[in-house]
Structures are given as C-alpha cells and as structure tokens.
Amino acid sequence: MGGLEQRGAQRFEVNVSAEVYTGEAVLPATTRNLSRTGVCLDLDRGLAEGTTVGVSLFLTSDGIEDPDVEALNVKAEVMWCTERDDRGFSAGARFDRLSDEHNGALDHFLKTIS
C-alpha cells in the first residue's frame, strides 16, 4: 500500500456519472474520487489490472449535467480493481497523458468542487 501514500495529486471525494469503454463493452460507473492524475470508479464488473480503458466523465455542477458541456473523454490505465462487499467493484485508474484542454476542464471542475 506504499503507493497510495505517495500520490502527488490531491484526491477529491466526488460522485459523478461515468462510462468505461473496455473494447468489449461500455460499462456504466460512478466516481468515488477524482484527481488531476486519476480516478476511482465504482462499477458492476471488474476491470483487468494493467489494461487501458476509455473513460467518459460527466462533470456536473451540483449534480446537474449541463447538456451543452461534453463529457471529458480520456484514456486511463487500470492500476487496481477489487470486489466490494455489496458485490460491485471499485477500480483505480491513472489518466494517460491528458491534453491541455482536458487538464483545463479537469482543473476547472476540481476548483468548483473544492
């Protein structure tokens, strides 16, 4: 668990809708927490550690999705995945090289919730 203690980016507890694209399926998910470098997702199926997935984050303001704001679509590497007691799964994923536009959108969202 030493890696968890060495995170460089502050994590924010936030619950927003997400979708995970595995190549075989599109999985609905919600975020547990979010940072500039990654996300923890809750979902119904497990993800294979070490795989790269597409993630769409529906960044909302006060729980309301803005129809004029597109989802933040990024690639991420699944770092870990574990089964929860409620039979769902939680997975931690590290973002893969965000563009300046993605970094800006993520920074703006994190500032609004902090």
What is the domain-level CATH number for residue 41?
2.40.10.220
The number of folded domains in the chain is: 1
- Tell me the pLDDT of the chain averaged across its residues: 87
pLDDT tier at 8, thresholds 50, 70, 90: low
Residue 65 lies in a domain: yes
Domain with 41 in it: 8-113
How far apart CA 4 and CA 66 sit, in angstroms, is 33
Q: Is residue 1 part of a domain?
A: no
3 pLDDT above the threshold of 50: no
Within a domain: residue 71?
yes
Residue 20 belongs to a domain: yes
Residue entry with tokens 């980016």: 9
The answer to whether residue 70 sits within a structural domain is yes
